[in-house]
Amino acid sequence: MFFIVLLAIRIVVDEREKNSRVPDLLKLMGVYVDYKQLTIGDYIVSSETVIERKTVYDLLNSVYDGRLFIQCSDIIKHYSKPIIVIEGNLTDLDTREDISSDSRLIVDKLRIAYETLIKLALDFRLPILYTSSVYYTAELLVLLASNQFKSKNAGPLLKKIKKTNPFVTQQLYVLASLPGIGSKVAVRLLEKFHSPRNVLNASIAELARVPGIGNMRAEKIRKILDTCVSPTMNTYTQKKLIMENTDDEDTTTTFSSSSSSNDNSI
């Protein structure tokens, strides 16, 4: 049962969230929903607070295609009180009918999910809130907006945000896929070496001089880049590589098309 919204609450919602049902639930609760094509985040409840909403499946997909850490880097750059909302339960990822079927794949998914949550909390220092369904997500958004309204942080909600060059962002995706390289270090690498090719050709000594890498991490990166793969890979590894390559091809198309949105202004 939803509580009655007594205040004139306004929440800016990204147009791509229309099909999630959350905006419709907000309207039923008396919230004024203002649709915009947002450059950053999914819901804006104040000039300080933006919410990035992820289902547990979105969480994994955005890790596989490299979007998540770039999104986190953007929201902490432009908002002082950003929040990540994870909708659903990690147990939903376990679709096994018995403990023996596809156990390796399920364990990998759960491990990636937990590693991602640890990175968001420790590296980005982002608060993570959990909801079990769209209904509870809507409740949470109303409470967040209400608290901001009471604290006189109600507006203006939109700020002018300069879009990142999509070509540069795709280059950062490539660099962020290297072991131990987050979005911040990826930016430093691109600034120092000017292109992913130069980064991939850099020596251990050159990589180690970049703040946040050091000798051990530089050695690991070079080992990953230089080690030859055996021509006989097991079936599991082959399938995993095929899935990841397919995701990357789809992501490139989606990312390029989404980059044409207009800047948001006050």
**Which amino acid makes up residue 241?**
L
pLDDT band at 65 (very low <50, low <70, confident <90, very high): confident
- Rounded distance, CA 23 to CA 13, Å? 7
pLDDT score, position 248: 42
Convert the pLDDT of each residue in 196-210 to its tens digit. 888 888 888 888 888
**Mean predicted confidence (pLDDT) in 212-241:** 71
H/E element holding 12?
Answer: strand 10-14
3-7, 147-151, 234-238: which has the highest mean pLDDT? 147-151
- Position 262 pLDDT exceeds 70: no
Convert the pLDDT of each residue in 2-54 to its tens digit. 444 445 788 999 999 999 999 999 999 999 999 999 989 999 998 889 999 99
> Side-chain half-sphere of 100: how many Cα atoms within 13 Å?
0
- Domain total for the chain? 2
The answer to whether residue 2 is domain-embedded is: no
Q: What is the average pLDDT score of the chain?
A: 76
* Domain CATH code at residue 193: 1.10.150.20
- Rounded distance, CA 59 to CA 235, Å? 26
Least confident of 53-62, 83-92, 157-166: 157-166
Assess contact for 60 and 109: CB atoms under 8 A.
Answer: yes
- Report residue 26 as tokens: 């907000």
| 3-state SS assignment for residue 130 | strand
pLDDT score, position 240: 53
Specify whether 143 is located in the same domain as 174. no
The answer to whether residue 173 is domain-embedded is: yes
Specify whether 144 is located in the same domain as 168. no
* Domain CATH code at residue 137: 3.40.50.10130
The answer to whether residue 36 is domain-embedded is: yes
φ, ψ for residue 95, nearest 5 deg: -105, 15
- Position 62 pLDDT exceeds 90: no
- Report residue 241 as tokens: 């590589």
H helices of the chain, in order, are 22-28, 56-64, 67-78, 103-122, 134-150, 166-176, 183-193, 196-201, 204-208, 214-226, 235-258
